[in-house]
């Protein structure tokens, strides 16, 4: 195995761009640090682990998604989202919203670390209603 060590990398055109298919930490396989100015963060901590935009009216349909296997209609305003890759533990966050100012999005059952969560939308009277455009994003450690 060869090792290449450089202080600065420039392409022939002078741009400092590297095109690769995979990054892997040297001392910790799951850790890549990114430094911006004086702040350093680990890349995998800052990335969303799932995202979805879906229509809840009629038969729910996915408009765009990442790491979402399927959605299931649980009735008016009630949708279960199943993720493709499970979380490592229960230390995750979910942010959900929709495009209707009169409707509130709720996460009522969150079992993301075992593969799914339920999302409900309710109106001002706390009655379940379908929202045409819903957005959900999750962060945490994948298994």
pLDDT in tens, 64-92: 999 999 999 999 999 999 989 888 887 88
- Residue 97 within any structural domain of the chain: yes
pLDDT beneath 70: ranges in the chain: 1, 14-18, 23-30, 109-114
The reply to whether 29 falls in a domain is no
Domain span holding position 63? 48-139
Q: Identify the pLDDT of residue 28.
A: 64
Residue 79 counted as domain residue:
yes
- Structural domain contains residue 5: no
Residue located via tokens 């379940």: 128
In a domain, 73, yes or no: yes
What pLDDT, on a 0 to 100 scale, did the predictor assign at position 104?
A: 85
Query: In a 3-state reduction of DSSP, which class is residue 18?
Result: coil
- The CA radius of gyration of the chain, in Å to the nearest whole number, is 20
Residue 30 domain flag: no
**What is the strand order of the sheet 116-122 is part of?**
68-73, 78-83, 116-122, 104-111
Structural domains of the chain, count: 1
Q: Is 70 contained in some domain?
A: yes
pTM above 0.95, yes or no: no
pLDDT of residue 113: 58
Residue 81 CB contacts under 8 Å (≥ 6 apart), including other chains: 52, 54, 68, 70, 71, 116, 117, 118, 119, 136
Point out which residues pair with 71 in neighbouring strands.
81
Work out the widest C-alpha separation in the chain, in whole angstroms. 66
123 within some domain: yes
């Amino acid at each position: 195995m060869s090792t290449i060590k450089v202080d600065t990398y420039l392409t022939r055109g002078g741009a400092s761009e590297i095109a690769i298919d995979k990054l892997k930490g040297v001392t910790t396989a799951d850790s890549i640090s990114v430094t911006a100015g004086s702040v350093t963060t680990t890349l995998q901590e800052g990335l969303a682990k799932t995202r979805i935009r879906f229509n809840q009216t009629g038969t729910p349909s996915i408009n765009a998604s990442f790491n979402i296997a399927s959605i299931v209609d649980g009735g008016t305003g009630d949708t279960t989202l199943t993720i493709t890759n499970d979380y490592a533990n229960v230390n995750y966050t979910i942010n959900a919203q929709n495009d209707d100012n009169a409707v509130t999005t709720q996460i009522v059952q969150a079992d993301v670390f075992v593969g799914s969560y339920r999302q409900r939308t309710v109106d001002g009277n706390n009655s379940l209603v379908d929202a045409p455009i819903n957005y959900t994003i999750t962060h945490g450690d994948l298994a």
